[in-house]
Amino acid sequence: MSNYGYARVSSSSQSLTIQQEALRKAGCDIIRSEKLTGTKLEGRTELETIIEFARAGDSITVTRIDRLARSIADLATIVHRLEAKGVSLVATEQPIDTKTAAGRCFLQLMGVFAEFETAIRRERQMEGIAKAKAEGVYKGRKPSIDPERVKALAAHGMGATAIAKELNVGRASVYRVMNGSRPSSP
């Protein structure tokens, strides 16, 4: 039986060291780490690798459940895959061990709170953006395309695809400029 560790932080400026040390202390044989958002499973290759590699009787350890997933759906998907393989999930800082009924119950509760926290953070962010827009402080991002440059290149006979490649922008943005629309900002 092997104990695999998984560490994750959301951005490249954050450190994985504290999690990795905690996982070593928890007896993890192999630790996989990545610096990606926990709000989605796509692109999390280290997590996928560790799930694929684990066998019946093994366990995957994280420091906290929010390192694994930020939504109930993603957490349920991961736990279902692990259970189907006979692999348990353990959290070092929370009473989670899916080998026990109490551990499974606490896991589900923590998943609900992680999803709630993400939703609240998103709401606060949207409120802040709306307030900044109302006060004229927030204008959105600057357009990524120079309409005059697009028109000049088009006047020299360049097509939309070539212009998009030259300016490193999407063709749709080039077409919007060529058709007289302003480029949109999110």
Q: List, for residues 19-57, the tens digit of each pLDDT value.
A: 999 999 999 989 999 998 878 888 899 999 999 999 999
Instruction: Quote the CA–CA distance of 73 and 157 in Å, as a whole number.
Output: 50
Confidence of residue 146 (pLDDT cuts 50, 70, 90): confident
Q: Is the pTM of this model over 0.85?
A: no
Identify the pLDDT of residue 42: 87
Q: Average pLDDT of 128-157?
A: 85
**By percentage, how much of the chain surpasses pLDDT 70?**
97
10 is catalytic: yes
The distance in angstroms from the start CA to the end CA of the chain is: 49
Assess whether pLDDT exceeds 80 at residue 111.
no
| HEC assignment per residue over 163-177 | HHHHHCCCHHHHHHH
Helix 171-178 / helix 147-155 crossing angle, nearest 10 deg? 80
Note the CATH number of domain 3-118: 3.40.50.1390
Instruction: Name the catalytic one among 2, 10, 33, 71.
Output: 10
Confidence of residue 181 (pLDDT cuts 50, 70, 90): low
Calculate the average pLDDT of the chain. 88
Confidence of residue 186 (pLDDT cuts 50, 70, 90): very low
What is the full DSSP assignment across 109-172? Answer: HHHHHHHHHHHHHHHHHHHHHHHHHHTT----SPPSS-HHHHHHHHHTT--HHHHHHHHTS-HH
Q: Domain-by-domain residue ranges, the chain?
A: 3-118, 147-178
pLDDT tens figures, 64-103 = 988 988 777 888 889 999 999 999 999 999 888 999 999 8
